């Protein structure tokens, strides 16, 4: 308690609510828990309450909080050089680019640094247009690519609406979503993928393939419900791009860095894209850093054509030092393997949750990246909260109950997201799923 009798939480929250603007929300009614410190999979609020961070911040603190190896590397770099102009080289920048090229698929060996995910997407839009000389950019409904002008236009969910009309030349297509297939198949991922691809093929034919620079995709859709396509779909999409000289851009801002049990989400499909965009787990959010990564053919093109793009903080030495140390942690602590192996146990636990709760319609996960999709009817897959919370704020109430039990995560509409730091162990995972299981008594009670 402070001298005026308020808890620390209350006094900081008062300041917060008098001056801070929060993202995506009407400001009235915002009532944040004020966090103080974090370590491993846990964070503590200013009043000392402990929470399991089951969303890794915002699906970015992949190695876990407070990692001493990363903090040490950052402190050493700070004493030497925090930043130099983008016209100069630096060892951290060169070394991180080399280390990234070692873990990316195929010949994706050429790195342009940004400050975050949306900027990586903006630069990939530019690069694709400059490389192909074409202007259209395809991106999928129910995809999210960031909140800046181009990235939000690519986004295929309600977050785009306020930014419309957005940048010209963006065209949306349907990707496979077996649980709510836009083309009418029921729970048959392969058939859903086949039909979806066929519709896309027709759309491209009618739209003029020679006008399309790139198809953007989240290899596994992130914030719209961890939607996992069949392998045959992603492979078919790669072929379609090759047939028409269209670039394939894999947005790995969320899917990358072990989240899906592989270094990059696209590795789950044995496909090599032309460009990767990434951020989040690249530094596990110890400091902001993103990247656009080119394959050799793009790199070759820009040997004699200028890449017209740049950012003051691109390749920030301190951020790159954090990135280097992060990749060392992923490797030395076996975190990518932990995500894959523990991900199989996670699948079983989620299946149990689905079998038990009438309000759980579907569960999906790849590695330590999962989603529970709520329903009001297991047979018809009818929503519970409704698209864009059109019916009621189920997620808000669920999150409140989980926080009371000591777990924070990210939830919206009918989706409960689960993405713990990849250093989590089996017991901690079981404890976390047990809390979510208990909170679901609330959604069951709504039926």
Ligand X SMILES: Cc1ncc(COP(=O)(O)O)c(C=O)c1O
Angle between helices 68-80 and 317-332 (to 10 degrees): 150
Kindly write out the interface string for residues 234-253 of this chain, putting x where it contacts ligand X by CB under 6 A and - elsewhere.
Answer: -----------------x-x
Beta bridge partners of 170: 137
How many CA atoms lie within 13 Å of 179's alpha carbon, on the beta-carbon side?
A: 22
Selected binder of ligand X within 61, 97, 100, 118 (CB under 6 A): 118
d(CA 401, CA 395): 10
How near is the Cβ of 252 to ligand X at its closest, in Å?
A: 8
Nearer to ligand X, 13 or 160 (CB): 160
How near is the Cβ of 103 to ligand X at its closest, in Å?
A: 18
The answer to the question of residue 145 lying near ligand X (CB under 6 A) is yes
At CA 227, angle to CA 223 and CA 228, rounded to 5? 135
The answer to the question of residue 218 lying near ligand X (CB under 6 A) is yes
The answer to the question of residue 142 lying near ligand X (CB under 6 A) is no
Q: Which residue has the tokens 């399309």?
A: 212
The answer to the question of residue 55 lying near ligand X (CB under 6 A) is no
- Using the contact rule CB under 6 A, the part of the chain among 20-28, 140-148, 225-233, 320-328 near ligand X is 140-148
d(CA 330, CA 333): 6
8-state DSSP, 88: S
- Strand ordering across the sheet containing 50-53: 35-39, 42-45, 50-53, 407-408
Quick one: how many helices (H) and strands (E) in the chain? Answer: 13, 15
How near is the Cβ of 13 to ligand X at its closest, in Å?
A: 24
How near is the Cβ of 154 to ligand X at its closest, in Å?
A: 9
The answer to the question of residue 219 lying near ligand X (CB under 6 A) is no
Which of 403-420 are b and which e, b meaning 16 or more Cβ less than 10 Å from the residue's Cβ? beeebbbbbbbbbbbbbb
In the range 381-400, which residues lie near ligand X by CB under 6 A?
A: none
The answer to the question of residue 144 lying near ligand X (CB under 6 A) is yes
8-state DSSP, 137: E
Selected binder of ligand X within 92, 116, 150, 421 (CB under 6 A): 116
Selected binder of ligand X within 70, 217, 226, 254 (CB under 6 A): 254
- Using the contact rule CB under 6 A, the part of the chain among 78-86, 144-152, 368-376, 425-433 near ligand X is 144-152
Kindly write out the interface string for residues 60-99 of this chain, putting x where it contacts ligand X by CB under 6 A and - elsewhere.
Answer: ----------------------------------------
- Using the contact rule CB under 6 A, the part of the chain among 23-31, 86-94, 115-123, 200-208 near ligand X is 115-123
Tell which residue, 235, 432, 254, has the closest CA to residue 350: 432
Q: Are 263 and 62 in contact (CB under 8 A)?
A: no
d(CA 252, CA 229): 15
How near is the Cβ of 10 to ligand X at its closest, in Å?
A: 30
The answer to the question of residue 117 lying near ligand X (CB under 6 A) is yes
Nearer to ligand X, 61 or 121 (CB): 121
Q: Which tokens is 345 given? A: 């146990």
The answer to the question of residue 222 lying near ligand X (CB under 6 A) is yes
The answer to the question of residue 121 lying near ligand X (CB under 6 A) is yes
Q: Which tokens is 104 given? A: 């990316």
Tell which residue, 324, 406, 137, 360, has the closest CA to residue 249: 137
Which residues lie near ligand X (CB under 6 A)?
A: 116-118, 121, 144-146, 218, 222-223, 251, 253-254, 279
């Amino acid at each position: 308690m402070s001298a005026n009798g308020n808890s620390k939480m209350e006094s900081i929250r008062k300041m917060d609510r008098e001056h801070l603007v929060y993202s995506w929300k009407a400001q009235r009614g915002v009532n944040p828990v004020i966090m103080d410190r974090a370590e491993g999979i846990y964070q503590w609020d200013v009043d000392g309450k402990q929470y399991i961070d089951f969303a890794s911040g915002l699906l970015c603190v992949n190695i876990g909080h407070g990692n001493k190896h990363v903090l040490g590397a950052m402190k050493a770099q700070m004493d030497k050089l925090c930043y130099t102009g983008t016209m100069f080289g630096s060892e951290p920048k060169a070394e991180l680019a080399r280390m990234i090229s070692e873990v990316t698929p195929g010949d994706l060996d050429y790195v342009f640094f940004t400050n975050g995910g949306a900027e990586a997407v903006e630069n990939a839009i530019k690069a694709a247009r400059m490389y192909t000389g074409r202007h259209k950019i395809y991106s999928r409904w129910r995809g999210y690519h960031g909140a800046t002008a181009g990235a939000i236009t690519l986004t295929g969910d309600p977050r785009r609406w306020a930014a419309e009309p957005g940048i010209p030349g963006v065209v949306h297509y349907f990707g496979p979503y077996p649980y709510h297939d836009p083309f009418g198949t029921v729970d048959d991922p392969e058939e859903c993928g086949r039909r979806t691809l066929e519709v896309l093929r027709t759309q491209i034919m009618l739209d003029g393939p020679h006008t399309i620079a790139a198809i953007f995709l989240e290899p596994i859709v992130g914030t719209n419900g961890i939607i996992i396509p069949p392998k045959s779909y992603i492979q078919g999409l790669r072929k379609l791009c090759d047939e028409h000289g269209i670039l394939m851009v894999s947005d790995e801002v969320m899917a990358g860095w072990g989240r899906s049990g592989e270094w990059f989400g696209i590795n789950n499909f044995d496909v090599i894209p032309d460009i990767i965009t990434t951020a989040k787990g690249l530094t596990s959010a110890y400091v902001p850093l993103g990247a656009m990564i080119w394959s050799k053919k793009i790199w070759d093109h820009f040997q004699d054509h200028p890449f017209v793009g740049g950012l003051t903080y691109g390749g920030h030495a301190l951020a790159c030092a954090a990135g280097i140390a992060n990749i060392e942690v992923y490797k030395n602590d076996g975190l990518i393997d932990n995500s894959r192996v523990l991900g199989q146990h996670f699948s079983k636990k989620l299946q149990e949750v689905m079998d038990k709760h009438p309000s759980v319609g579907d569960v999906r996960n790849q590695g330590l990246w999962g989603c529970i999709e709520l329903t009001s009817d297991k047979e018809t897959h009818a929503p519970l909260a409704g698209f864009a919370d059109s019916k009621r704020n189920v997620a808000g109430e669920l999150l409140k109950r989980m926080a009371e039990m000591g777990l924070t995560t990210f939830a919206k509409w009918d989706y409960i997201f689960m993405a713990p730091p990849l250093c989590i162990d089996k017991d901690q995972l079981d404890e976390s799923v047990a809390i979510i299981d208990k909170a679901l008594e609330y959604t069951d009670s709504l039926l």
